[in-house]
Amino acid sequence: MDLATFERISEPDYLQGLTSRPLDDLRMMRAECKTVEDALSFLRRLVQGHLDIVRCEQDRRASGQPADLAALVAALPKTLSEQVVGRDRGRLPALASPRDPTITDELDAICDAVRLAHVPDLPDGDLDRLVTDLRCLEQAVSARRQIMFERLDVLSAEVTRRYRTGAASVDALLVDEAGSGRRPDGPESPVYEER
């Protein structure tokens, strides 16, 4: 993932002077934050999938099953499907793969596809370290997502404030959107994924 973009957005001065910025700037900032949050959400799901696979192998070993890639692969549909349906929330939304080819760099440094394919061959200690490293990455990615949610909340609150106080007009938004050929997104209040 482009950590430089995340770091720039997470700086305190990113949100300075919001009340004096043009509405279009706020929309662009919000779109930028949402793009980064989407990428982080995608990465977090990948990390969780890797973690589920490694834990599945740990569970297989704990139950006395021998190292066997075919058996691990056969267990994956059940293991991974348990994370697809959220408790009391229905099916989790599908996420499109971000265009950034570096999105998985941090994950690949811990456990790329080749290492993941050799999970049954790893010693128990290596599996334990892999779980620890993946958990740490998941926590780091979750913390980054939280910062993006905070940025999105502040930006949306400022846009909403402008519409509430009359500093911005829905009619002007519709005219702007119609002139650009884009479909209006509605009343400037995005629906965020479950945090």
Q: Tell whether 194 is covered by a domain.
A: no
Query: What pLDDT is attached to residue 83?
Result: 59
pLDDT along the chain (195 residues), means of 10: 86 93 93 94 93 91 85 79 52 57 89 90 94 97 96 94 77 50 45 43
Query: What pLDDT is attached to residue 75?
Result: 79
Q: Tell whether 72 is covered by a domain.
A: yes
Give the span between the Cα atoms of 105 and 34, in whole angstroms: 20
Which positions ≥6 away from 77 have C-beta within 8 Å?
none
Q: Tell whether 162 is covered by a domain.
A: yes
Query: What pLDDT is attached to residue 88?
Result: 43
- Cβ of 121: how many Cβ atoms within 10 Å? 11
How many domains does the chain divide into? 1
Which sign, positive or negative, has the C-alpha torsion 131, 134, 139, 140? Answer: positive
pTM of the predicted model as reported, rounded to 2 decimal places: 0.76
Q: Tell whether 125 is covered by a domain.
A: yes
Q: Tell whether 2 is covered by a domain.
A: no
Q: Tell whether 33 is covered by a domain.
A: yes
Q: Tell whether 195 is covered by a domain.
A: no
Asked whether the beta carbons of 23 and 168 are under 8 A apart, the reply is: yes
Query: What pLDDT is attached to residue 92?
Result: 46
Give the span between the Cα atoms of 45 and 19, in whole angstroms: 35
Residues in the chain: 195
Single out the residue of 195, 109, 180, 143 nearest to residue 10, CA to CA.
Answer: 143
Query: What pLDDT is attached to residue 162?
Result: 87
Query: What pLDDT is attached to residue 89?
Result: 46
Query: What pLDDT is attached to residue 129?
Result: 96
Q: Tell whether 152 is covered by a domain.
A: yes
Domain with 117, as residue range(s), is: 22-84+97-180
Query: What pLDDT is attached to residue 51?
Result: 94
